[in-house]
Amino acid sequence: MVEHMKWWGWGQEGVAFHHEDKPNLAPFVMKVAGIDFSAPPVRVPELSELDVPASRAPESLRAAFVEALGAEHVHDDDLDRVVHTYGKSMRDLVRIRRGDFGRLPDLVLYPGTEAETEAALRIALEADAVLIPFGGGSNIVGSLEAPREETRPVVSLDMGRMREVLSLDETAKTARIQAGALGPDLEEQLNARGWTIGHFPDSFKHSTLGGWIATRSSGMQSDRFGDIADITRAVRVVTPKGLVATAEVPVQSTGPSVREMVLGSEGRLGIITEATVQVHRLAEERVIQAYFFPDYGSGLKAMQAIAASDAQPSITRVSDANETQFTLATSKKGSAVGQLLNKGVQLYASRRKGMDLSQMCLSFIGFEGSAAGVRRSKTIVGEIVRKHGGFGVGSGPGTLYDQKKFDTPYIRDFILDRGAYGDVSETSSSWTTLKSVHDNVVAAAEKAFAEVGVKGFIFCHLSHSYHSGACQYFTFAFQAPSDHDGLEVYDTVKGAIQQAFIDNGGTLSHHHAVGREHKRWIGQDISPAGAEIVGALFAGVDPGRNLNPGAIV
């Protein structure tokens, strides 16, 4: 059986965020965004209370899928169709809780093999139905929904039955893995043999290999292992033109890369059934060190120097002052993070290092590999941190951060229950523009909050460093006004942030993809001619616009 996330929120049923053991958090969010944690939670309706439009699938289409996949793998019940309607952006969560389902899929298909996937696509094309591949449903850019006005039958094709590691080549250090494998599925199978893929997005537990490839995902340890685009060596994709299988080689000079075309294609070219990925031996040693910098600017310069050095960290991350304050506020009483700014550290930072405590920025740097390699990298990083006015506070907070990282997303549902909206936007830009992108994005969001008359806050961290620049990841939240629609405010703030990315030399997304959410910036990002070429590629492969029409361009 394929398990899904809650239809109305993030993650598993029965798991939720709570704040009672984090005494500083409620006063902090009240002060910065007027979000009242003591407000009684808004009740999430039962699905049975909402008006779920009936499936419009013609009986002949259903029968054809049943013949190809078996009756138990063709679903049309309300819950299954609702779960496959949207991803997990704030917009998706708000709409689904309101019972605003848009154009629900009429059928949900669960193929178990590549041959069944081919049969499903063939049937969909013959019937001129829309087919949308579904991985874990964790995307936050609206890349799963059918156009509202779609009159053709819509089917969601869930890859959840295809989750095996098919083979492991210990010489080439590659593994063939089915596209429906969730992060834990493939890591458990690889770990059992002493290997790891090294790809850990925050959504790791609920997203799939196929989804990572189709959105060009990036994981926390990308500094060492690369983004999914680097990790993916070869793909097998069921397309309207037939099966595409790229060669399992390290690099190819064979014209424009078909493998690269599939990366980020969001289901518009076909269904990825499996991929060959680079894997690594489990590391001998793994540690995340915490550091403080006097301010964000010096933290950024230190990350740049680390990227240019001989150190090989797995994670480079530095929070701006606002995110640092938030992280400290979320710490449990007496925890390692709570101890980060204890009296001794405060005195050391202010008296010995001359830091302004309100401007201090927290950084986590991860190291993994051989004990000797880790030691060497740590020494180099320690020197760079000192040169940039920072100091280390040990590995305890980093260990805790590592353990808790997959729990953080539950906080969005918690604040939404209290009438507050929160979401993220991320971009990459060059080291030259990084600080101005940060400052201008924060200014744009604050201006947007002021214009719509809400109290809100925005904070940011750098993660994922490269030779020429890095990713910056912004989180914003606000209390929805009582007199108008919170989604309108969300649009204004999110739109201002995205436009500021483009206007200041950033891209519309470093790793969350385009979907429908970011589509209006695609021409400004890759140029109008670039967007036309991408559109022509999709039209060439899928002239009937049957595959996830409406995503990207």
CB of 82 vs ligand FAD, minimal distance in Å: 15
Of the candidates 110, 401, 421, 473, the residue annotated as catalytic is: 473
291 is catalytic: no
Question: Is 217 among the annotated ligand-binding positions?
Answer: yes
What's the Cα-to-Cα distance from 482 to each of 229, 419, 489, 492, rounded to whole Å? 43, 9, 11, 16
CB of 267 vs ligand FAD, minimal distance in Å: 3
Residue pair 225/281 in contact by the 8 Å Cβ criterion: no
Residue pair 318/362 in contact by the 8 Å Cβ criterion: yes
Instruction: Give the integer Cα–Cα distance in Å for 378 and 365.
Output: 9
Of the pair 271, 305, the CB lying nearest ligand FAD is at: 271
CB of 144 vs ligand FAD, minimal distance in Å: 5
CB of 121 vs ligand FAD, minimal distance in Å: 11
Question: Is 429 among the annotated ligand-binding positions?
Answer: no
Of the pair 267, 294, the CB lying nearest ligand FAD is at: 267
What's the Cα-to-Cα distance from 72 to each of 1, 36, 115, 130, 185, rounded to whole Å? 10, 46, 17, 21, 22
Cβ atoms within 10 A of the Cβ of 34, count? Answer: 14
Of the pair 88, 152, the CB lying nearest ligand FAD is at: 88
Residue type, 11: G
Question: Is 206 among the annotated ligand-binding positions?
Answer: yes
Question: Is 205 among the annotated ligand-binding positions?
Answer: yes
536 in the Ramachandran plot: left (φ > 0), alpha (ψ -120 to 50) or beta? alpha
Question: Is 254 among the annotated ligand-binding positions?
Answer: no
270-308 in b/e form (b: 16+ CB < 10 A) is: bbbbbbbbbbbeebeeebbbbbbbbbbbbbbbbbbbbbe
Of the pair 218, 428, the CB lying nearest ligand FAD is at: 218
Question: Is 433 among the annotated ligand-binding positions?
Answer: no
Residue pair 162/112 in contact by the 8 Å Cβ criterion: yes
Residue pair 546/142 in contact by the 8 Å Cβ criterion: no
CB of 184 vs ligand FAD, minimal distance in Å: 13
* Helical residues (DSSP H) of 146-208, grouped into ranges: 183-191
Of the pair 158, 452, the CB lying nearest ligand FAD is at: 158
Residue closest to ligand FAD, measured at CB: 211
Based on its alpha-carbon atoms, the radius of gyration of the chain, rounded to whole angstroms, reads 23
Q: Point out which residues bind ligand FAD (CB under 6 A).
A: 10, 87-88, 132-140, 143-144, 159, 179, 201-203, 207-208, 210-212, 214-215, 217-218, 266-267, 271-272, 409, 511-513, 548, 551
Question: Is 215 among the annotated ligand-binding positions?
Answer: yes
- The binding site for FAD consists of 202-208, 215-218, 266-272
- The binding site for substrate consists of 412
- The binding site consists of 202-208, 215-218, 266-272, 412
Which residues are the active-site residues? 473
